[in-house]
Structure 1
Amino acid sequence: MRKLVLITIVLGLSLSVFGQENENKELTRKERREIKKQEQKEQSEAMAKLLAAAIDEQMWVLEANTLAGKRGASVVVNSTLNFIAVEGDEAFVQLGSNTGMGQNGVGGVSVRGNVNKYEVKKNEKKGTYFITLYISSALGSFDIRLDCNSDGQIANASVQGNTSKRIQYRGIIVPLSESSVYKGTPII
């Protein structure tokens, strides 16, 4: 009798599990791709709105993951130490390395300056931005030309100082509130 009751319970449980599998039908590969594509589109649109507000308010950071010199040789760098930040009428440009040796305490140079000119041009058709900054600091003046896509995931900036030396920053632009950069001691 016990065996019969046990077999009935096991059989009943297994039938209910099979019934649930039929109800929760597996999505096809195409449906999963469409759902993923839609989620990425929504995320990109949300990031584009955040970036537009940050650029208008002059509260953004270009976190560089690659630096390139005058002749184009590029180096992969730490994005928390290599960045260009704009905070209203003030800008902060930093080069750093993980060694921690240097005038700024993070293995490079940090410059804080005042934004003399801030000009934004947006290509409405493509949704891209072109930003021109002129900064005056204790080290002299800097001309920064930056372009990025609509959601800030591809950004390139050219920084040129008083000399003919030019550095290219490549990375992403994020609103200042979402940035994770570490500021070194600026040159006064």
Structure 2
Amino acid sequence: MKKIVLIVLLTLLGGGLSAQTNSRKAARQVEKARRAAMDSVLHLGAVQALESGAFVVEADRLIFKRGRTASVSSNTNFVSRDGDEAFVQIAFNTVLAGPNGVGGITVRGNVSDVTVRTDKKGYLYYGMNVQGIGISARVDIMLIPGTDRASVTVDPNYSSNRITMEGRVLPAVDSRVFKGRFH
């Protein structure tokens, strides 16, 4: 009798464990589907922002020309465009204020020669020239398919001090960046 009760209990417990395992798998699948749907919506917003010419790429990582990287604050490191005007701001996490008051530089320029194309793998490439008092550079943005993540290369025309920024593409109205003093 004890054996029968023990077998019944083990069977019931085993079924409960199996149900819990299935429930966890289902919850993971639902979460994965929710994340994929959210990424898709964010990607569409990023594409629309780039195509409309009113966007901000909030960078959380900088990559320098020899491969060194730095994690930075996304509200003070960005590339933005609103109509014919563009800003590039780079601010390091230091105690020094820098020329822009937030630890780096902020430059403003006029936008020209905008190009937008999508390759067959789904990468969107957005390029523009930015010309102003403090900047003369080519800015190239590569939006990763299915996400709002992008890589931005700022390539100055008169020096080899290229810098790459990685971050999120947002519509200009949704961005919360802090602009320092600019030239």
Coarse TM-score class (shorter-chain normalised): 0.7 to 0.9
Write out per-residue CA displacement over residues 128-172 of structure 1, whole angstroms, 9 at most, x where no aligned residue.
211111010102411111212134443111111121111111112
Corresponding residue number in structure 2 for 1:149: 144
CA distance in 2, matches of 1:28, 1:152: 28
Q: SS state of the match for residue 28, structure 1? A: helix
Contact 2:62 2:72 in 1 (8 A): yes
Q: Say which is worse superposed, 29-38 or 128-137, in terms of deviation.
A: 29-38
Q: Residues 29 and 142 of structure 1: is their aligned pair in 2 closer, same or farther, counting only changes over 3 Å?
A: same
State the Cα distance separating 1:180 from its structure 2 match: 1.3
Equivalent residue in structure 1 for 2:104, among 102, 108, 118: 108
State the Cα distance separating 1:182 from its structure 2 match: 0.4
Corresponding residue number in structure 1 for 2:15: none
Structure 1 alignment gaps of length 5 or more: 1-24
CA distance in 2, matches of 1:104, 1:55: 26
Structure 2 alignment gaps of length 5 or more: 1-18
User: How many residues in Structure 1 have an aligned counterpart in Structure 2?
Assistant: 162
| Cα-Cα RMSD | 1.8
State the Cα distance separating 1:100 from its structure 2 match: 5.3
Q: Which amino acid aligns with 1:81?
A: T
CA distance in 1, matches of 2:142, 2:109: 21
Structure 2 length-normalised TM: 0.81
Map 1:17-166 onto structure 2 (within 5 A). Answer: 28-98=23-93, 99=95, 101-123=97-119, 125-161=120-156, 162-166=158-162
Q: Residues 152 and 93 of structure 1: is their aligned pair in 2 closer, same or farther, counting only changes over 3 Å?
A: farther
Larger radius of gyration: 1
